[in-house]
Amino acid sequence: MKRQLILEDGTVFIGNGFGSETDKIGEVVFNTGMTGYQEILSDPSYCGQIVTLTYPLIGNYGINRDDFESIYPAISGFIVKEVCDHPSNFRSEFSLDEYFKTKSIPGISGIDTRKLTRIIRTFGTLRGAICSMEVNVTDMINQLKGLTLPTDQVKQVSTKSSYPSPGRGQRVVLVDYGMKHGILRELNNRDCDVIVVPYNVTAEEVLQLRPDGIMLSNGPGDPKDVPEAIDMIKGILGKVPLFGICLGHQLFALACGANTEKMKFGHRGSNHPVKHLVTGKIAITSQNHGYTVNEASLVKTGLEVTHIALNDGSVEGLRHKEYPAFTVQYHPEASPGPEDANNLFNEFIEMIDSFKKEGEKVCQNA
Ligand SMILES: NC(=O)CC[C@H](N)C(=O)O
């Protein structure tokens, strides 16, 4: 069935609908990954966004039971050039069309997604709608222009209550701002005794759990929309070793007094080169973010830049000069993408070990 994709700049694409027939509005963003559509569509950081993929054939290996990054996908829609109706893979359980029908997610195919990506790169991220042919184009453009974007995405996707994911190693409190399961998997692989907590946990509640370390997850939206998280981080800073990823990195920067800003069209893909400033090593990283830490705002925050993006020089990693805390803007858990940065999880565990040893020395000398 024919459907339309309407953008706030007045562009209209006509394509073929797949998945759910609902009409959805969202921020249209592009991802350049050549594989990993299942992880992308289930990454909660895309909550409220319509994702277009620049790779031209999507759905060819189907949807399987293993590769979800969350149980309830939060994206508003998918825009592809060609959707595969007959996936072929030993793990495949559903086609993209079948899966999207069960989750009320509309898809549109037959779109020149590279042209669409060039529009987004020129205009910046823009609002759009996947809707039926009956919708009046002028009315929809006006609606899109006047739209106030939601600010409660983290609340929508975070867990409602705490739950354990037990292990015999370090106790890590993992704050779920819209966590990709890959982060939990990496901590479990290192036998961490994980407790996942909701986004609005307070510093007191975190400290009552007697954590050895705290992990701040990725998540959707503008970090400034989550003031409770900023207060919590201020309350635990220096008391517990901290590692943050993506939204967690941005919240950490805000808690330390730095500023964040919206990027023109963001970084979303699986091949973003990032340079570690100390070693000079380059990692090819998985990324999905539309906000960034403003480098000039780092003066007098106690933070230093550890990593930069080679494509545009933006801040990709931070470290606190005094306290055991570091964060990255990219995704060391990959899912999808290269695993070049996976060692950061080991560095987190090593940071916890040495913080404990320091504490023991202080006790012995007291
Ligand atoms: N993946 C993330 O955590 C994204 C962080 C934030 N929502 C951004 O778009 O920049």
* pLDDT (tens digit per residue) in 10-26: 999 999 999 999 999 99
Could you tell me if 124 and 200 lie in one domain?
no
Query: 3-class DSSP state for residue 360?
Result: helix
pLDDT in tens, 149-206: 899 999 999 999 999 999 999 999 999 999 999 999 999 999 999 999 999 999 999 9
Could you tell me if 33 and 165 lie in one domain?
no
pTM of the model: 0.97
Residue 326 belongs to what domain range? 153-362
Say if residues 258 and 312 touch (Cβ distance below 8 Å). Answer: no
SS (HEC) of 170-215: CEEEEEECCCCHHHHHHHHHCCCEEEEEECCCCHHHHHHCCCCEEE
Could you tell me if 298 and 165 lie in one domain?
yes
Residue 360 predicted with pLDDT over 90:
no
As a whole number of angstroms, the distance between CA 349 and CA 187 comes to 9
Could you tell me if 26 and 93 lie in one domain?
yes
Residue 366 predicted with pLDDT over 70:
no
pLDDT in tens, 71-93: 999 999 999 999 999 999 999 99
Could you tell me if 76 and 200 lie in one domain?
no
Residues 113-116: contacts with CB under 8 Å, at least 24 apart: 113/30, 113/52, 113/53, 113/54, 113/56, 113/79, 113/80, 113/81, 114/54, 114/81, 116/5, 116/13, 116/28, 116/30, 116/52, 116/79
pLDDT in tens, 179-192: 999 999 999 999 99
Predicted pLDDT of residue 361: 78
Best mutation site among 31, 176, 246 for ligand 1 pocket (most ligand atoms within 8 Å of CB)? 246
Residues in Cβ contact with 315 at an 8 Å cutoff, skipping those fewer than 6 apart = 292, 293, 294, 295, 298, 305, 307, 308, 309, 329
Q: Which residues are identified as catalytic?
A: 246, 331, 333
Best mutation site among 224, 247, 315 for ligand 1 pocket (most ligand atoms within 8 Å of CB)? 247
HSE-CB of 128 using CA atoms within 13 angstroms: 33
> From the alpha carbon of 43, which atom of ligand 1 is closest?
1
Domain final position from 87, 122, 145: 145
Could you tell me if 140 and 284 lie in one domain?
no
Could you tell me if 124 and 160 lie in one domain?
no
- Ligand 1 atom 4 nearest Cα: 289
Could you tell me if 131 and 200 lie in one domain?
no
Domain final position from 112, 145, 178: 145
Q: What is the CATH number of the domain that holds 287?
A: 3.40.50.880
Residue 331 predicted with pLDDT over 80:
yes
Could you tell me if 234 and 309 lie in one domain?
yes
Number of domains in the chain: 2
Could you tell me if 207 and 121 lie in one domain?
no
pLDDT in tens, 36-69: 999 999 999 999 999 999 999 999 999 999 999 9
Could you tell me if 114 and 164 lie in one domain?
no
Domain final position from 145, 163, 189: 145
- The DSSP code for 45 is G
Predicted pLDDT of residue 362: 75
Q: What is the CATH number of the domain that holds 93?
A: 3.50.30.20
As a whole number of angstroms, the distance between CA 156 and CA 140 comes to 25
Could you tell me if 122 and 163 lie in one domain?
no
As a whole number of angstroms, the distance between CA 144 and CA 11 comes to 12
Among 59, 60, 61, 64, CA closest to 93: 64
As a whole number of angstroms, the distance between CA 244 and CA 247 comes to 8
